[in-house]
Amino acid sequence: MVPILIRTLGSKGSIIETRHDAMHIKPAKPKNTSDPTGAGDAYRAGFVAGYIKFGLKRGGLKGVTPDDLLVCGQMGSVAAVYTVEKYGTQTHTFTRVEFAKRYRENFGSLLSF
């Protein structure tokens, strides 16, 4: 009944389901593990940031493609890993450059916005 359903699976990544597809998103690799508190919220923030960016680029959210959703999920995975590495819910920070580097290290491609 929903166009997109996302299940986060902690250290096992996430699954993004649409009416037509289901894709598994591998987790980004943390440098260390300190505290998982807030990782789900950070994942959602990373996913939504990508979703909005792609929507703006594609002329509306209905233009977001399955490939775009994959990148959004990977962005969520990278955002979540920053949280896991620090104790507490909002103690992590990163720049766009750091985020893009971490994305490339984990998923082997550049973010294209």
Q: For 9-93, where are the alpha helices, taking DSSP H only?
A: 39-57, 66-84
Q: What are the structural domain ranges in the chain?
A: 4-107
Q: Using CA atoms, how far apart are residues 79 and 40, in angstroms rounded to an integer?
A: 9
Q: Using CA atoms, how far apart are residues 72 and 3, in angstroms rounded to an integer?
A: 15
| Position 35 confidence tier, pLDDT thresholds 50, 70, 90 | confident
**How large a percentage of the chain has pLDDT more than 70?**
96
pLDDT digits over 69-95, tens only?
999 999 999 999 999 998 876 778 899
The architecture that CATH gives domain 4-107 is 3-Layer(aba) Sandwich (3.40)
List residues with catalytic annotation: 41
| Position 113 confidence tier, pLDDT thresholds 50, 70, 90 | low
Please classify residue 93 by burial: count the beta carbons closer than 10 Å to its beta carbon, then call 0-12 exposed, 13-18 middle and 19+ buried: exposed
pLDDT digits over 1-22, tens only?
888 999 999 999 999 999 999 9
